[in-house]
Structure 1
């Protein structure tokens, strides 16, 4: 069978799940096991989950000795459960970062499958398969599958909930109470993952649909919402609350209310009112970077938007727009900007793009959108491996063959897709984009990133400590000048994060057998403080690397007392 025939016939498959699972694994597994724990969020989440496993305290969330009152415990339960399951079958997983990434990978896979299976009611079987295949390679989702945190799992709950809501909207008379219960239960699970984000998406969509469906000429308060009755909100909302309430009650008691004051008053309000942790961005930023975050599928979605807006009176399109547009606008208005925040809108956008690609009567995009979409496709396909290669050369002074291979893969992807677009084979081009992204991503994720030794300072420092002091308890190791969570994950939550060189000298003097790592900026002060205390130091080696979070080179020297 010719490749073109295969691409044309694949959306017709009666068994979409195996094909989509295969596609997702080919896209996501490169780098999944080999990229070390990253700073800062991934290592924070993973280390907090590891401490749950070690302490068997599944209510409170702690990072080292500090309470982490930011997000609910749902993702930590999933990560701890993954570790327990792996260890139950004899796989030592507690110190392996990939074990904590499993819930992200599984959540992303569920989101892709839900887009296909639940999206059929909205755009048809063929377009739903194509939309799922377009979602799988989106760069922001690819990144989230490689990070042990909440957002890929959250996407799974939102996609399922919105797929069910779409069915209630289109066919309220056939929507069953069991489906309604599933809708509210999955939103309850979403609350346990990231608080109000999960129920906020259907709420925004529901308000938008109520306004759009308002009877012409009637008063503004008269709504037409038979789908709302089908969802049984009267008992559904209490069911959602019941799914999440036990842990919230328990954490409120365990922290004496600190969780709510810190999570709501600190974490959430800071994100809305100011750019938390220097992550501020202007309104419109997500739109500007959509060609990157949704690569390689963005160029199809961008072309579909004018036609989707023109078809907004069609109920399925209206629902998808009500899902995507208010969600997008809300996150554009929030001061804190991170690329994954708009991810809950991606399944809807992919369904709109796939519907347009599969429609033989599709409306052609304006020329400026067509040029913009091609520029986004080519810019990312070639620019991503070039950027990776430039980073390797800048940091380590060498040319990376995998980056060069990635450039070739990117050029071939652009050539192949533009050739299909020239023949108006948009469905084929959308599916080919997902498949041809596999070698491009593999070159970067498996070939380039794990091999940039300079940026993986924490695991190299932990390996050096293990080499010079095998079996050293974490509590007997102190560090000055590199307080990154990745070091806590590499060495354990009991390591001592010391303030300065004087504190490091005190740490060594307090008990025999201890080791400290001191950065180059504090080393002179540390040596003076050690001399003042009459300590004879023995240097055990130096590890130099780039702290990419702070953007500066660090030399960490190890010391013990003779």
Structure 2
């Protein structure tokens, strides 16, 4: 294995090797994990409604306009669904076609990191950095979630890669590359508004201040480049403004974006320093190498490639730390330069050792990540379903092997080997958790189990004939279909059943008494058809949903 690790950065097919590594890391659980709450199911459901309605301008979730994010990810997800259905390999009712843009975005981001990273840190370090990036826990998770962040990550990696080429070799930066830069920025805006341009603009301003010069910016051809970006984004922005009479901009900017800046939206508040702390786990298993490389990167900041990577990281990191709403994946656009800096230090034969305290923090993060993943995998089946799963226990020897090999390479003073070994040996750790454990749990997947019970008791029932009270998580609507009626409480559930024959209603335990009282008042005989007991992990509470239908008089 050691010889293979030494030869891998010199492979003749680096992109093929990186693609293979990515697929081995990411495919476990990709097809089998049920739709998650809340963001994934919201995004997927809105995209499904686009496919069903043929309206590719407005973004809707159920009967409500979802005026929060631009349309780019919904177009990508809709296209993925159409392709899957045309090939006969998937359908709009399955979650995995909606995840394909996330997987492709992550893959393109890793390849972009290698492709443009070669000019910044060299070929061997770029390969190591891309491999480390592919194995990062936060990116592995994002490939399994049908939302914007992995696709945004790809556009930022590509835009910054092209910007780095313009900065390092302005004399060889072509008009075609400039066009690519502005087109990618347009795609980034369609995915998540100002985030991509913000990262680019902050890096440009930082470089201009540090260098006291910015003549190289001319090679980007902004005179026609900015109009090219506007040509990409304006048609939909004009269309959505007309379709919603301006409500999209009021709600997306005034409601969603400013709420994230000013307050911890949806209880996702975090103090300054949040991303430094979460990086130790979010960047597992690569964090230990990045921490060791940062002091050397700062010492080498006068080198143009290192200077560019630091300008990519520092100002955007400070902005994300200052924003009130914080989630670990928000800092994902800064992971490519961090991985490249860590890999450059590991590949440098003249590297200087990192301070001892940084080395021990890195070792702590490495052990904590491997042990945490394996122990969580072993315990989850018992905690969730009160059962012992032998497959889940495989994470323990996988973690032992991981730590034995990686810590051994670190002890021998071979950090590059340690980084590659960590990326490769993370594969079984993730496979156990994402394929062997999470999809096989029952308690967290309430919505799909309600849909299965409904299909058994009332096959072919139109979604509009089914209502649910006490469990309004987006995975429920995705599982039972567009048109599922979200009932306010148990009283509304009894009224729903009484209004028309053939209807079914799922009623949560907290709404059961009100449902029974209203059914009695109306003279409605509600027959229980079964129940689903589980755990609503978004609210942190046990739940029982009972399925009722109105009995024949």
TM bucket normalised to smaller: over 0.9
Secondary structure at 1:60's aligned position in 2? Answer: coil
Superposition pairs of residues 325-340 of structure 1, within 5 angstroms:
325-340=314-329
Check the 8 A contact 2:378/2:395 in 1, yes or no: no
Matched, 1:254 2:248: no
Matched, 1:386 2:372: no
Post-superposition offset of 1:521 = 1.0
Post-superposition offset of 1:289 = 1.3
Unmatched segments (≥5 aa) in structure 2: none
Check the 8 A contact 1:48/1:63 in 2, yes or no: yes
Distance (Å, rounded) in 2 between the aligned partners of 1:179 and 1:92 = 36
Check the 8 A contact 2:10/2:124 in 1, yes or no: yes
Post-superposition offset of 1:17 = 1.2
Deviations 1:365-422 (A, max 9, x none): 0000001100000011011221233333222222332332112211211111111112
Distance (Å, rounded) in 2 between the aligned partners of 1:402 and 1:152 = 29
Matching residue of 2:190: 192
Matching residue of 1:220: none
Matching residue of 2:405: 416
Matching residue of 2:25: 27
Post-superposition offset of 1:534 = 1.1
Check the 8 A contact 2:62/2:483 in 1, yes or no: yes
Matching residue of 1:323: 312
Matching residue of 1:98: 96
Matched, 1:469 2:461: no
Post-superposition offset of 1:23 = 0.3
Distance (Å, rounded) in 2 between the aligned partners of 1:231 and 1:423 = 45
Secondary structure at 1:528's aligned position in 2? Answer: helix
Matched, 1:401 2:390: yes
Distance (Å, rounded) in 1 between the aligned partners of 2:423 and 2:93 = 33
Post-superposition offset of 1:528 = 1.0
Distance (Å, rounded) in 2 between the aligned partners of 1:227 and 1:411 = 50
Matching residue of 1:209: 207
Deviations 1:402-451 (A, max 9, x none): 33211221121111111111222111111111000000100100011111
Distance (Å, rounded) in 1 between the aligned partners of 2:63 and 2:49 = 10
Matching residue of 1:219: none
Check the 8 A contact 1:303/1:364 in 2, yes or no: yes
Distance (Å, rounded) in 1 between the aligned partners of 2:364 and 2:393 = 21
Check the 8 A contact 2:38/2:474 in 1, yes or no: yes
Secondary structure at 2:460's aligned position in 1? Answer: coil
Could you tell me which of 134, 144, 147 is aligned with 1:146? 144
Distance (Å, rounded) in 2 between the aligned partners of 1:350 and 1:237 = 30
Matching residue of 1:81: 79
Matching residue of 1:501: 490
Check the 8 A contact 2:506/2:547 in 1, yes or no: yes
Matching residue of 1:432: 421
Post-superposition offset of 1:144 = 0.3
Check the 8 A contact 1:498/1:504 in 2, yes or no: yes
Post-superposition offset of 1:128 = 0.8
Check the 8 A contact 2:57/2:239 in 1, yes or no: yes
Deviations 1:146-179 (A, max 9, x none): 0000000111110000000001000111111110
Check the 8 A contact 1:51/1:62 in 2, yes or no: yes
Matching residue of 1:66: 64
Matching residue of 2:347: 358
Distance (Å, rounded) in 1 between the aligned partners of 2:283 and 2:388 = 28
Q: Report the RMSD for the aligned CA atoms in angstroms.
A: 0.9
Distance (Å, rounded) in 2 between the aligned partners of 1:186 and 1:161 = 6
Post-superposition offset of 1:121 = 0.9
Secondary structure at 1:69's aligned position in 2? Answer: coil
Distance (Å, rounded) in 2 between the aligned partners of 1:501 and 1:295 = 45
Check the 8 A contact 2:377/2:395 in 1, yes or no: no
Matching residue of 2:290: 301
Matching residue of 2:356: 367
Distance (Å, rounded) in 1 between the aligned partners of 2:82 and 2:238 = 25
Post-superposition offset of 1:241 = 1.5
Check the 8 A contact 2:377/2:432 in 1, yes or no: no
Deviations 1:254-302 (A, max 9, x none): 0000000000000000000000000001110110111100000110001
Distance (Å, rounded) in 1 between the aligned partners of 2:390 and 2:88 = 37
Secondary structure at 1:401's aligned position in 2? Answer: coil
Post-superposition offset of 1:363 = 1.5
Could you tell me which of 409, 429, 432 is aligned with 1:443? 432
Matching residue of 1:221: none
Secondary structure at 1:455's aligned position in 2? Answer: coil
Check the 8 A contact 1:169/1:226 in 2, yes or no: no
Distance (Å, rounded) in 2 between the aligned partners of 1:390 and 1:179 = 50
Secondary structure at 1:200's aligned position in 2? Answer: helix
Post-superposition offset of 1:225 = 1.2
Could you tell me which of 129, 133, 136 is aligned with 1:135? 133
Matching residue of 1:182: 180
Check the 8 A contact 1:37/1:97 in 2, yes or no: yes
Matching residue of 2:111: 113
Check the 8 A contact 1:475/1:494 in 2, yes or no: yes
Of the structure 1 ranges 338-347 and 119-128, higher mean CA displacement relative to structure 2 is found in 119-128
**TM-score (norm. length: structure 2):** 0.99
Matching residue of 1:492: 481
Check the 8 A contact 2:384/2:442 in 1, yes or no: no
Deviations 1:454-512 (A, max 9, x none): 11111001000000000000000010000010011001120110011111111111111
Matching residue of 2:15: 17
Post-superposition offset of 1:118 = 1.2
Distance (Å, rounded) in 1 between the aligned partners of 2:71 and 2:360 = 45
Matching residue of 2:365: 376
